[in-house]
Structure 1
Amino acid sequence: MPEPLAGPAAEPLTRAEAKAFLRIDHDAEDALLDALIPAARRLIEAASGRILADQEFALHRDAWPASGVIALPVAPVSAILSATVTDASGTEAAVPDGALTLRGERAPALIHVDGTRVPRPGKRHDGILITVRAGYGAAADVPADLVQAVRLAVAHFYELRDGAGGATELPAAVMALIAPYRVVRL
C-alpha cells in the first residue's frame, strides 16, 4: 500500500456545503462535520480506488519489476515527484531523468521502467522509493459525482453517528455514484 505523505490542501466538500446539504443552521456540529468530511472522502477514495483532491504518496519497493511495469495502487496520478534507490551502504541515489515514464491517466496508473537506466537497489527491503502526486487536481477539479458521493457519505454518517443501523455500510446511492470510477482487476 502507498504511504500517504501529504493530504489534500482542501477537502472536495467544505463545511459550509455540508451544512447546507444537511440543513444545519448552527455551529454546534462544526467539529463533528470537520471530522466526518475527511473520513467520508477517505472512504470514497478506498471504495472507488481513486484519489480525489491532489495528495502525495510514497511507494516503497524491494526491486524493479522484471516486466518493467509498476502498476500503482492509486489513481489518477499526475506526476512522479521523486525516485531514489538506496545502495547496500544506505546511500540514496536519484533515479536518472527519463528512466521512469508515467501513464497516470489510466487506472491503474502505470510507471514504465527503463531497466537499462535504473540503478539496482543494494538495500534488501524498501530499497526503492517513488513519490507521486495522485488526484484530480485541486478540490474544485474533483468530478461532481464523486463530490456528491462524499456529500451523501457525510449525510449517512451524520444521521447514523451512534454506529447503529448499518452505519459502516455505504448507501446504494453512493455505490452507484462511484461505480464508474472503481478500479477493477481482472
Structure 2
Amino acid sequence: MMLTEQTPVPEAALPLAPFKAHLRLGTGFGEDSLQDEVLISFLRASIAAIEARTGKVLMSRQFDLNMHQWSDPSAQALPLVPVTAIATVVLIDAAGGEEIISPNRYQLIQDSQHPQLCPAGSLLPTVVSGGALRITLTAGMAADWGDLPADLAQAVLMLAAHYYHYRDDTGLSGGCMSFGVTSLIERYRVVRLGLGRLQ
C-alpha cells in the first residue's frame, strides 16, 4: 500500500496572519514579509505533526492510494480520516492498462475512526494477478482554516510557535510536542484496533 498526497495545502489557505499575531511579530514595517517563508514551513510542519499524531487530515486535499490487492474485498479500510469523497477507483492490469470502475459498484462508508470503501454488491471488483488498483480520494476536516475546530487550530499555532522558538535546538527536550498541544489534540486521536484491544 502506498499513499501519495496529490494536492498539498495551498499556501493561501495557511493561517500566516494569525500565526504572526500569535508570535506577536511587529507589523507596519517594510520587511513584514521577510520571515514568511520560514513561518510557512513551520506551519506545514506543525500540521503534518498533528495529522500524524491524531490520524486525522486537517485541511482538505486529494490523495492517491495505490495497492496490489484489496486487503478485504468485502470492505476496504481507508488509511485516512475523515474521507469525504471518492473521486475514482481504477483497476490496473498486468500490462498497465487502466479501467475506471463505475461508482455504482462501490460506496464510501464515512466514519470518524475507520472509513471504508464497500461494494454495492457482495465484493469489490477483482484485481487480476500481477495487477494493481488506485483509489483517488479527498480527505480533510475543513476546506478553509476558519472551519477547523478551534482547539485544533490553536494546537497548530502553538506547535508551529514551538518549532519557531526552538528552531536552532538539535536536542529532543526543547523540540518535542508540548503538553499543551497534546492535551488539545488528544480527543481527536483515531482509535486503532489491534490484538483484541484499543490502542
TM-score by length of structure 2 reads 0.84
Whether the aligned pair in 1 keeps the contact of 2:14 and 2:40 (CA below 8 Å) is no
Aligned pair partner of 1:170 in 177, 184, 190: 177
Aligned pair partner of 1:130 in 130, 135, 140: 135
1:129-155 deviations in Å (ceiling 9; x for gaps): 001100023122211111111001011
SS at match of 2:186: helix
Percent sequence identity is 33
Identify the structure with bigger relative contact order (alpha carbons < 8 Å, sequence gap 6+).
1
Unaligned runs of 5+ in 2: 194-199
1:149-170 deviations in Å (ceiling 9; x for gaps): 1001011001101124524410
Whether the aligned pair in 2 keeps the contact of 1:100 and 1:113 (CA below 8 Å) is yes
Partner AA of 1:138 in structure 2: A
Tell me the equivalent position of 2:151.
145
TM-score by length of structure 1 reads 0.89
Tell me the equivalent position of 2:79.
73
Greater CA deviation, 145-154 or 6-15? Answer: 6-15
C-alpha spacing 1:11/1:50, structure 2 compared with 1 (3 Å) = farther
Partner AA of 2:140 in structure 1: G
* Cα distance in 1 between the residues matched to 2:72 and 2:102: 19
Whether the aligned pair in 1 keeps the contact of 2:73 and 2:123 (CA below 8 Å) is no
1:2-58 deviations in Å (ceiling 9; x for gaps): 211111235765111111011001523222212111111111111110101111111
Tell me the equivalent position of 1:6.
7
* Cα distance in 2 between the residues matched to 1:144 and 1:111: 30
Tell me the equivalent position of 1:64.
70
**How many angstroms does 1:124 deviate by?**
2.2
Matched, 1:48 2:54: yes
Tell me the equivalent position of 2:112.
106
Partner AA of 1:6 in structure 2: T
Unaligned runs of 5+ in 1: none
Whether the aligned pair in 2 keeps the contact of 1:80 and 1:131 (CA below 8 Å) is yes
* Cα distance in 1 between the residues matched to 2:25 and 2:59: 25
Give the CA RMSD over aligned residues.
2.1
Whether the aligned pair in 1 keeps the contact of 2:141 and 2:148 (CA below 8 Å) is yes
Aligned pair partner of 2:93 in 87, 96, 102: 87
